[in-house]
Amino acid sequence: MKQKRSSFTGKIGFVLAAAGSAVGLGNIWRFPYLAAKYGGGIFLLVYIILAVTFGFALMCAEIALGRRTGKSAIAAFGYLNKKWSFVGWLVALVPVLILPYYSVIGGWITKYISVYLTGNGTAAAGEGFFADFTATTGEPIVWFLIFIGLTALVLLFDVSKGVEQVSKIMMPILILLTVGIAVYIVLLPGAYEGVKYYLMPDFSNFTIATVVAAMGQLFYSMSLAMGIMITYGSYMKKDISIEKSVRQIEVFDTGIAFLAGLMVIPAVFAFGEGGEASLGKGPGLMFVTLPKVFDSFKGGHIIGVAFFIMVFFAALTSSISLMETVISIVRDKTGLGRKSACGIVFAGSVIIGLPSALGFSIWDGIKPLGMDILTFFDFISNSVVMPIVAILTCIFIGYIVRPKQMINEIEAQGATFNQKKLFSVMIKYIAPVFIVLIFIFSLCEAFNIETLFGIQILK
Ligand code: TRP
Q: How far apart are CA 348 and CA 326, in angstroms?
A: 10
The CA-to-CA distance between both ends of the chain, in Å, stands at: 55
The H or E element that residue 452 is part of is strand 451-452
Q: How far apart are CA 167 and CA 161, in angstroms?
A: 10
Confirm or reject: Cβ of 220 under 6 Å from ligand 1: yes
Digit-coded pLDDT (tens) for 110-127:
999 999 999 999 999 998
Residue 230 has pLDDT above 70, yes or no: yes
CA 255 to chain centroid: 14
- For a mutational test of ligand 1's pocket, the pick from 31, 98, 313, 377, i.e. the residue with the most ligand atoms closer than 8 A to its C-beta, is 98
Q: How far apart are CA 55 and CA 214, in angstroms?
A: 11
Confirm or reject: Cβ of 26 under 6 Å from ligand 1: yes
Q: How far apart are CA 65 and CA 405, in angstroms?
A: 9
Confirm or reject: Cβ of 216 under 6 Å from ligand 1: no
Q: Answer with the residue of higher pLDDT: 73 or 363.
A: 363
Residue 329 has pLDDT above 60, yes or no: yes
Digit-coded pLDDT (tens) for 358-392:
999 999 999 998 899 999 999 999 888 999 999 99
1 band by pLDDT with thresholds 50, 70 and 90: very low
Taking phi over 0 as left and psi of -120 to 50 as alpha, with beta for the rest, 331 belongs to alpha
- For a mutational test of ligand 1's pocket, the pick from 16, 21, 164, 221, i.e. the residue with the most ligand atoms closer than 8 A to its C-beta, is 21
The H or E element that residue 456 is part of is strand 455-456
Q: Answer with the residue of higher pLDDT: 181 or 73.
A: 181
Whole-number Cα distances in Å, 369 to 136, 377, 386, 447: 23, 11, 18, 6
- Tell me the whole-structure pTM to 2 decimals: 0.91
DSSP 283-342: GGHHHHHHHHHHTSSTTHHHHHHHHHHHHHHHHHHHHHHHHHHHHHHHHHHH---HHHHH
Q: For the domain 11-456, what is the CATH superfamily, name and number?
A: Hydantoin permease (1.10.4160.10)
315 CA from centroid of ligand 1 (Å): 9
272 band by pLDDT with thresholds 50, 70 and 90: low
For the chain, the domains span: 11-456
| 152: helix, strand or coil | helix
Residues near 278 by Cβ (< 8 Å), separated by ≥ 6?
36, 268, 272, 285, 288, 289
Question: Is the torsion defined by CA of 417, 49, 386, 338 positive or negative?
Answer: negative
The predicted structure's pLDDT at residue 2: 41
Confirm or reject: Cβ of 221 under 6 Å from ligand 1: yes
Confirm or reject: Cβ of 226 under 6 Å from ligand 1: yes
- Please name the residue whose Cα sits nearest to atom 9 of ligand 1: 223
321 CA from centroid of ligand 1 (Å): 8
DSSP state of 371: S
